[in-house]
């Protein structure tokens, strides 16, 4: 069951919903396509547009640039607004979203976590980077990409 009419720009000091709840909105500007969100608690500060990893307990962190044990299979989402460390908020897992990317990211190619925390990049092999499934970058303007999210997940680290 989805919670409808959520405010995805709000960050809450105390939980307003059960962590892990699913929320949805219909965006009239995007041809009435639904956008689906998960309510999480930020384990570190998260900035608007950052790609985040969501753990099994629905805590979220910006995609890291350093080693992170057991990241394979974690959900990946995009933050529609800032969420302070320890605060609660919504992160997007389905629908059209604006996501931080590395400036040279190409359109329509496979992506991975990037060398900048919270950013995605062309599929790039690196010791601490992870391939990402379920994200299609449709346009890039500087360091912001327009993407379609389809319940993305992070893969195993490149060797």
Is residue 126 predicted with pLDDT exceeding 80? no
Nearest to 48 by CA among 5, 14, 92: 92
CB burial readout 36-53, b (16+ within 10 A) else e: bbbbbbbbbebeebbbbb
pLDDT above 90 coverage of the chain, percent:
63
Is residue 27 predicted with pLDDT exceeding 80? no
- Give 72 or 110, the one with higher predicted confidence: 110
Could you tell me the end-to-end alpha-carbon distance of the chain, in angstroms, rounded to an integer?
A: 39
Residues 32-75: tens digit of each pLDDT:
788 999 999 999 999 999 999 999 999 999 987 666 666 778 89
Is residue 134 predicted with pLDDT exceeding 80? yes
Residues 85-106: tens digit of each pLDDT:
999 999 999 999 999 999 889 9
Going along the chain from its start, the domains and CATH numbers come out as 3-154 (2.40.300)
pLDDT at 51: 95
- Report pTM: 0.91
Q: Centre a 10 Å sphere on the Cβ of residue 141 and count the other Cβ atoms it contains.
A: 10
Going along 70-116, which residue ranges are E strands? 75-78, 88-100, 111-113
pLDDT at 67: 60
């Amino acid at each position: 069951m989805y919670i409808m009419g959520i405010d995805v720009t709000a960050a809450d000091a105390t939980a307003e919903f059960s962590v892990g709840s699913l929320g949805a909105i219909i965006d009239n500007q995007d041809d009435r396509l639904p956008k689906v969100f998960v309510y999480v608690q930020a384990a570190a500060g998260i900035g608007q547009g950052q790609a985040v990893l969501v753990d099994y307990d629905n805590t979220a962190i910006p995609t890291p640039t350093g080693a992170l044990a057991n990241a394979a299979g974690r959900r990946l989402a995009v933050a529609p607004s800032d969420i302070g460390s320890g605060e609660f908020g919504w992160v997007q897992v389905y629908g059209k979203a604006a996501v931080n990317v590395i400036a040279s990211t190409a359109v329509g190619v496979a992506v991975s976590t990037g060398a900048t925390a919270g950013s995605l990049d062309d599929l790039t092999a690196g010791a601490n980077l992870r391939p990402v499934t379920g994200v299609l970058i449709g346009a890039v303007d500087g360091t912001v990409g327009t993407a379609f999210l389809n319940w993305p997940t992070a893969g195993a680290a490149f060797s």
